Amino acid sequence: MNSLRNYAFVTLSYWAFTVTDGALRMLVLLYFYELGYPPLEIAFLFLFYELFGVLTNLLGGWIGSRVGLNRTMHAGLGLQVIALLLLAADPTWLSVPFVMFSQALSGIGKDLNKMSAKSSIKLFIPQDQSTQLFKWVAILTGSKNTLKGVGFFLGGFLLKVLGFRETLISMAGLLGIVLIATILLLPSGLGKVKAKVKFKQILSKSPEVNYLSAARMFLFGSRDIWFVVALPIFFQQQFGWSHTEVGSFFALWIILYGVVQSFAPLLLGKSLKGRAPDGKDATLYVGILSLIAGAIALLLPYGETSFLLVSSLFIFGFIFAINSSVHSYLILSYTDQENVSLNVGFYYMANASGRLLGTVLSGGIFQYFGLVGCLWGSSLFLTLATLLSTRLPHRKTVSLTSQDKI
């Protein structure tokens, strides 16, 4: 019963953070595009967000194992509140370096919160219940992405209705309330290990964790090449969409992506035949994604219509959600409770590295080669992810004896 209660508090905290994170991304992107910033410069506004996310995930798991996951979660929420308030300052302060610094705090906060939430689930589920773990991970990850979609919509909508500063202040107040609630309600010392974890253990992983993390890097890089900067600007340039329309598309895409993630165990039920996912499933779905991205890049120049593009990207999102859900389960199945925060932190460091690379390429490739160039880049990344996924074990469980050898 306590496990269910703690899971609910962790999930609610993660949900609240996710809404503000999605809204902030859309607010910054649309606001600064409206001010006349070119695509590559907008991409650099998010550079520190992704860069510090890489560093946070690399160190966050080690810190969480020493001080407890509840403290890293509280730190993440607090940093997001500070980032929101900084961006709500006098508009004359909003230079590129100032925004990059604020985004750095937001990136650190986001990945501390995510690492803490994902790692905590492993502590709530008995180690022999792999299918149950897959279901709980899918629910948390899917619901988070659904609410991130809500955040994208709110960012575009509230920018028009309330304005930039007023929206930021409102979100900071809401998240502050959540922070106080989690401090009061979550148990202390969650995920803290008794033995001192050596710093060098951060990079000492089993082969399964290394291959999965590398595949994860290219998977999320493949999405963000076209998703982060290129697509919203393309919609406004080519189709003349408004802020609300752009925000609504991204909201719907992320919401449906999250719904598919939540129901991944049910959707994969027949193909899995009662077993948990393995490397074969990860390889299959990322291979399909590579073909879809290449097909969209081939067809788009011959039919540059909103219907073709939007429908194709929703198909991409469906398969991407299945593959991402399988990944989220596998990283937890490849570790034990004692090393969960270290391995999850390392895995999400690779995830953030892919997002960093994808964000920079999204602005640069789009500025010089357009959306089609971004899609070809996406297909290349997915091909690399497929090759790496072939090295993952094709069986239900993996050996933990090699875990974190020094």
Angle at 61 between CA 55 and CA 66, to 5 degrees: 125
> Quick one: pLDDT band at residue 139, thresholds 50, 70, 90?
confident
Query: Quick check: helix, strand or coil at residue 38?
Result: coil
> Quick one: pLDDT band at residue 404, thresholds 50, 70, 90?
very low
Asked if 382 and 286 touch (Cβ cutoff 8 Å), the reply is yes
Residue 11 clears pLDDT 80, i.e. is over it:
no
136 vs 121: CA distance, rounded Å: 7
State residue 319's pLDDT score. 95
Number of CB atoms found within 10 A of residue 263's CB: 18
- What is the average per-residue pLDDT within 301-310? 79
State residue 406's pLDDT score. 27
Asked if 138 and 260 touch (Cβ cutoff 8 Å), the reply is no
pLDDT tens per residue, range 47-106: 888 888 788 877 776 676 677 777 888 898 999 999 999 998 887 888 888 888 898 899
As a whole number, the mean pLDDT across the chain is 81
Residue 375 clears pLDDT 80, i.e. is over it:
yes
268 vs 262: CA distance, rounded Å: 11
Q: What counts of helices (H) and strands (E) characterise the chain?
A: 15, 0
Distances (CA, A) of 130 to 42, 72, 374: 42, 26, 37
Residue type, 149: G
Structure token digits, residue 304: 């540059």
Residue with tokens 């993440």: 76
300 vs 309: CA distance, rounded Å: 7
404 vs 406: CA distance, rounded Å: 6
170 vs 85: CA distance, rounded Å: 10
State residue 199's pLDDT score. 55
Residues 6+ apart with CB under 8 A from 400: 206, 334, 335, 336
Query: Quick check: helix, strand or coil at residue 195?
Result: coil
Asked if 39 and 363 touch (Cβ cutoff 8 Å), the reply is yes
Q: For 103-169, give the DSSP string.
A: HHHHHHHHHHHHHHHHHHHHHHS-TT-HHHHHHHHHHHHHHHHHHHHHHHHHHHHHHHHT-HHHHHH
212 vs 389: CA distance, rounded Å: 7
Taking phi first (over 0 means left), then psi (-120 to 50 degrees means alpha), and beta for anything else, what does residue 347 get? alpha
Distances (CA, A) of 400 to 116, 128, 208, 209: 22, 13, 10, 11
Q: How far is CA 271 from the centre of its chain?
A: 26
DSSP state of 302: G
Query: Quick check: helix, strand or coil at residue 295?
Result: helix
Residue 132 clears pLDDT 80, i.e. is over it:
no
> Which has the higher per-residue pLDDT, 267 or 1?
267
Dmax (CA) for the chain in angstroms is: 61
Structure token digits, residue 136: 């709980």
Residue 403 clears pLDDT 50, i.e. is over it:
no
Residue 287 clears pLDDT 80, i.e. is over it:
yes
State residue 126's pLDDT score. 61
Domains and CATH numbers, the chain: 2-188+195-389 (1.20.1250.20)
Residue 276 clears pLDDT 60, i.e. is over it:
yes
Lowest mean pLDDT among 25-34, 128-137, 185-194, 265-274: 185-194
Residue 339 clears pLDDT 80, i.e. is over it:
no
